[in-house]
Amino acid sequence: MINFFKKIYYEKYSQKSYSASPVDLVINRIFRDKKKGYYIDIGCNHPIKYSNTYLLHKRGWQGINIDADKESIVQFNKFRNNDVNKNIAASRKKGFRKFYIYHSRSALNTFDINLVKKRKAKPIEIKLIETDSLNNIIKNSKFKRKNFDLLSIDIENHEYQALKNFNFKKYKIKIIIIELINMNFKKIETENQTLNFLQNSKIYKLLTKNNYKLINWIGSDLIFCRI
């Protein structure tokens, strides 16, 4: 009986993480008092597994999920049908780009040829994928008049291109989670991240220029807060 009550106690006061890193627990804590909010998840991959937004979705949040892999969006339409789920790539502008595919719904799939050259594993297919700016994707969604609380972006070294022309003044997103890959090492691992590299990266400079400050850092996931 004692073990039974212990189990109930620990289940009540513990929280399961769904992210690849526990970054979603940090985000859930930041927004602990906000019952209803809105997110944008670029490179969403899967509605539950390794998702930075699933904990918020479970609490009733809604938003826009974007992925270049059609199969990922099929899953989002199944499990998150109240969200806007877009099979498109967020980039600088509307058009088409080469997408290097390792396998369907792989987290390695990327638009960045430099990252492909760095890896030992090679893509099995290259496709031309439709792209659009994040500004246009928001403007054409049912959430266009909402104030977004969270942007999560993980698109394998294409993050800067997706945010370079973003209208930070119009869309004052409170928290941004962004992956940063250090390409200076032969092995692209999270332990190779350094503060010096981070502060000199184009991503860091872009976000700090647009009134964001770095508040947390978990592996390759950086958390920025709007000042």
pLDDT at 117: 86
Range in 5-19, 102-116, 205-219 with the lowest mean pLDDT: 5-19
Q: Is the pLDDT of residue 12 over 60?
A: no
Which of 9 and 90 is assigned the larger pLDDT? 90
Q: What is the pLDDT confidence band of residue 103, given thresholds at 50, 70 and 90?
A: confident
Q: Can you tell me the mean pLDDT for 55-76?
A: 96
pLDDT at residue 71 tops 80 = yes
Q: Where would I find the beta strands (DSSP E) of 102-211? A: 125-132, 150-153, 175-179
> 220 or 189, which is more confident?
220
Mean pLDDT across 24-41: 96
Pairing of strands 38-42, 150-153: parallel
Domain ranges in the chain? 16-91+133-143+155-226
Please give the CATH number for the structural domain made up of 16-91+133-143+155-226: 3.40.50
User: Residue 23's Cα: distance from chain center in Å?
Assistant: 11
Residue 89 DSSP symbol = E
Question: Hey, what amino acid is at 147?
Answer: N
Per-residue pLDDT reduced to its tens digit, 121-147: 888 899 999 999 999 999 999 999 999
**What's the full length of the chain, in residues?**
227
* pLDDT, position 1: 55
Residue 15: the pLDDT is 81
Tokens representing 133 are 């700016």
